[in-house]
Amino acid sequence: MSNLLTGGCLCGAITYQLEHEPDDVADICFCRECRKASGAGTLPWVQVPPERFALIKGTAKPFASSAAATRWFCPDCGTPLYMTDQEGRSIGVTLGSLDDPEHIRPTTQGWVCERVSWQGLDAALPTYSKSPPYDL
């Protein structure tokens, strides 16, 4: 059973919707790029196929943060919203940009090899030294 969820940026210029399935991977990322992009110790994401994500209002600005990924954010307020891969396999939506982030709980933790010492791990979730497996 899927849930239709909405989200957007802090200033309201950009809104989106996504269709969330219970088996979608939702990970807490500890990588350096996510720390820099968010200004936080971690950045939680949910991965969905592109056909289950749609911008409703506004235009996000892209930033190629690596050879494999483009991050999209609000050009007005700077909110990090989602990330795409070059192959078009998935869209990683930031859980903090959801209107109600309580609807999705992280299921795994990735890039713990880059975790800063003061950022704790959730002992109840599996951890991966680098990328968690995504089977999209």
List pLDDT tens digits, range 63-75.
998 888 999 999 9
Query: Is 57 within the bounds of a domain?
Result: yes
With pLDDT > 70 as the criterion, what percentage of the chain qualifies?
98
Asked if residue 124 belongs to a domain, the reply is no
Give a yes or no: residue 77 inside a domain. yes
CATH of the domain at 41: 2.170.150.70
Distances 54 to 1, 15, 49, 131 between C-alpha atoms, Å = 19, 9, 11, 25
Q: Sorting pLDDT into bands at 50, 70 and 90, what band is 135?
A: very low
Q: What is the span of the domain harbouring residue 85? A: 3-114
What is the tally of structural domains in the chain? 1
Tell me the per-residue pLDDT of 83-121, one tens digit each, with 9 for 90 and over. Answer: 999 999 999 999 999 999 999 999 999 999 999 999 999
Assess if residue 120 is contained within a domain.
no
Tell me whether residue 126 is in a domain.
no
Residue 83, classified by CB atoms within 10 Å of its CB into exposed (0-12), middle (13-18) or buried (19+), is: buried
pLDDT, tens digit, 9 for 90 and up, residues 3-14: 999 999 999 999
Q: Please name the amino acid found at residue 9.
A: C
In a domain, 125, yes or no: no
What would the mean pLDDT of 40-45 be, rounded to a whole number? Answer: 96
| pLDDT number for residue 107 | 93
Closest C-alpha to 130, from 82, 81, 79, 66: 66
> Within the chain, where are the H helices?
32-38
Residue 135 lies in a domain: no
Q: Which residues contact 55 (CB under 8 A, 6 or more apart)?
A: 14, 15, 16
- Per residue in 12-35, pLDDT (tens digit) is 999 999 999 999 999 999 999 999
Mean pLDDT of 117-132: 93
Asked if residue 131 is part of any domain, the answer here is no
And the tokens for 34? 């996510």
pLDDT value for 136: 41
> Beta strand pairing status for 108-110 and 26-29?
parallel
